Amino acid sequence: MDVLLILEALNPFGAKAEKGLSRENQGPKKKFKIGGGEIGSYLKSSTLHHIRGNKMNKYIKIVLFGFLAWLIPFIASIFFFAPGGGLLVDVFLFKSIMIVVGSIVGALLLVLYFSKISKEFLREGIVVGVAWFAINIILDLIVLLPLLQIDVGNYSAQIGIRYLVIPVMSIAMGYAIAQNLKK
């Protein structure tokens, strides 16, 4: 399954592949349009091709993408802290930005993951959601708790509970793709 076909299956705001591109021969550059305006293009690269292709074991992909879903927002968060460790912006603004960054990263990784799935979309959504949730929690327990010097209870209330959005997004995407492909 292709990224463009997932966008069409999810059909957000009438997403359609650009005319003249077929599934078999989309060339090195893929474009999609939403509401008549181009919102992005996808250039094949050898690394991304290997990640998207069948050359990578599905379970390795789940773990790698789960790690990236944690790492990218973690790296982004570093820019909001002063060298001494103090937050440079309001704590609520920081938390809001992190939720948005994490959601964007998660959504993009889910689209990439589902691009090579051809069946059992809901099951895949459940597996990916639970796995990524667990990966993010484990990495936070190893890295973030010692760094922030907070206990598990405070971590769970302030940060950990927000990771529940991961299985919600992945299950919703799997369900939406399955339902739209039945039509």
User: How confident is the model over 100-112, as pLDDT tens digits?
Assistant: 999 999 999 999 9
Q: Identify whether the C-beta of residue 135 lies closer than 8 Å to the C-beta of residue 73.
A: no
User: Tens digits of per-residue pLDDT, 39-98?
Assistant: 333 333 434 444 455 556 889 999 999 999 999 999 999 999 998 888 999 999 999 999
Q: What is the pLDDT of residue 37?
A: 38
Q: Which of 67, 71, 176, 84 is nearest to 121 (CA)?
A: 176
Sequence spans of domains, the chain: 1-44, 56-182
Q: What is the pLDDT of residue 158?
A: 87
- Return the higher-pLDDT residue of 134 and 144: 134
Residue 121 has pLDDT above 80, yes or no: yes
Residue 142 has pLDDT above 70, yes or no: yes
Stretch 145-166: mean pLDDT: 90
Provide the whole-model pTM: 0.70
> Three-class SS of residue 81?
strand
Q: Identify whether the C-beta of residue 180 lies closer than 8 Å to the C-beta of residue 10.
A: yes
User: Tens digits of per-residue pLDDT, 13-51?
Assistant: 444 444 333 344 444 444 433 334 333 333 334 344 444
Query: Using CA atoms, how far apart are residues 173 and 169, in angstroms rounded to an integer?
Result: 6
Q: What is the pLDDT of residue 173?
A: 96
Q: What is the pLDDT of residue 19?
A: 38
Stretch 115-136: mean pLDDT: 95
